Amino acid sequence: MTEQAAGKHGRRFSRRELSDTVSPAGWRLVLAMFRTDVAVHSLAEAGAFTAAVAAAIDASAAAHVRLDARPDRVIVTVENLSVPWLGQVEIDLARQISAIAADLGLETLPDVAASPRSVQAVEIGIDALDIPKIRPFWKAVMGYVDEIGRTGPQDALVDPHGQNPAIWFQQMDAPRPQRNRIHFDISVPHDDAERRMAAALAAGGTLVSDKAAPAFWGLADAEGNEACITTWQARD
């Protein structure tokens, strides 16, 4: 990050500062995002909360907020999609959303004791001897994009919709044939399977098996790490 970039997006906070600032309100710093649960009693209550947030926040800040509404909770994420760090804009958004929840008699305070787990983010690590060679395959087969601000041949890949785990690559010095192999099932719409498969093959992948198609196509990257493109078809 350059000083010019830091000035444009505001002061660069330390992770400790970010955590200490939002934790009292029930938010947690996870990777490069603020995340919290808002407990609700129904999908209607979840909808009312998300509608209140959408109506209250400034349009220019709306892209920084993701709301995942469930019948028992709304999972709220605040992040900056233009730079890979959080600043005053995101801090203010978290505080504003907490105030909106309070006005509705809700809290941005995850009840860890009553929940299966705390808020979290998931990443997938892939060990590789030649990261630049296999990275294009995983970008294509998952439908991912480069992480904001990190577009190098060994950098992480992310879901453009922010829905699924990020993928990062760990450099290996030598083959480890006894290690567990990595396998992903990527379930896609039935009318997108062939396009996704073609992109993966064009990115250096190989077709391992189409025996179970169109339910499953088995693919592999240049080092033999496997993934399946799957659809709902031919499963009955």
Same domain, 94 and 10: yes
State CA 236 to chain mean position distance. 31
Measured over the CA atoms of residue 51, residue 57, residue 63 and residue 67, the dihedral's sign is negative
Same domain, 130 and 153: yes
State CA 147 to chain mean position distance. 10
Q: Residue 2: its pLDDT value, please?
A: 34
User: Whole domain around residue 106: which residue ranges?
Assistant: 3-114
Q: Phi and psi for 234 in degrees, rounded to 5?
A: 60, 35
pLDDT in tens, the chain (236 residues): 333 334 345 678 888 899 889 989 999 988 888 999 999 999 999 999 999 999 999 888 888 999 999 999 999 999 987 777 899 999 999 999 999 999 999 998 765 555 667 788 888 988 889 999 999 999 999 999 998 777 788 899 999 988 889 998 988 888 777 665 677 888 887 888 898 999 999 999 999 999 999 988 999 999 888 888 888 888 76
Same domain, 37 and 133: no
**Cα–Cα distance list, 114 to 110, 117, 118, 121 (Å):** 9, 9, 10, 19
Query: pTM for the whole thing?
Result: 0.75
| 153 within a domain of the structure (yes/no) | yes
Domains of the chain: total:
2
Strand partners, 226: 183, 220
| 235 within a domain of the structure (yes/no) | no
| 202 within a domain of the structure (yes/no) | yes
Question: What CATH number did the domain enclosing 192 receive?
Answer: 3.10.180.10
Same domain, 106 and 144: no
